[in-house]
Amino acid sequence: EAEVAQSPRYKITEKSQAVAFWCDPISGHATLYWYRQILGQGPELLVQFQDESVVDDSQLPKDRFSAERLKGVDSTLKIQPAELGDSAMYLCASSLELGETQYFGPGTRLLVL
């Protein structure tokens, strides 16, 4: 069964450092999503891609976060510089098209010290 792949699974960094997360969606899925999930809360959308184009990045803190999906397949989410409040689970999801069922990857758990 096809799955969304993410790496790394865990990341510990110090504040002010740069971190990057990678996501490989299910093959053939045109839509890719990055979510942040704080402990005890539901996922919150950071950015949404349709192929290589950004559809919604209204909740992405653009002063420190960036995301790209250059060839419309895999994607990278970067934080620079990391802050203590960025500690969370970062989830990637993909769907065949916009508005369809989203399938989540295992996530990257980030701890900023």
Candidates 90, 105, 110, 112; binder of other proteins (CB under 8 A) is: 105
Which tokens in the block code for residue 6?
Answer: 């993410």
Contacts of residue 5, Cβ cutoff 8 Å, sequence gap at least 6: 23, 24, 105
Candidates 40, 63, 70, 71; binder of other proteins (CB under 8 A) is: 40
**Is 49 among the residues that bind other proteins (CB under 8 A)?**
no
CA separation for the pair 70, 30 (Å, rounded):
13
**Is 25 among the residues that bind other proteins (CB under 8 A)?**
no
> 61-70, long-range: CB within 8 Å, 24+ apart, which pairs?
67/34, 69/32
Candidates 1, 28, 41, 71; binder of other proteins (CB under 8 A) is: 41
Please report, as ranges, the residues that interact with other proteins according to CB under 8 A.
4, 40-45, 48, 55-56, 91, 98-99, 101-107, 109
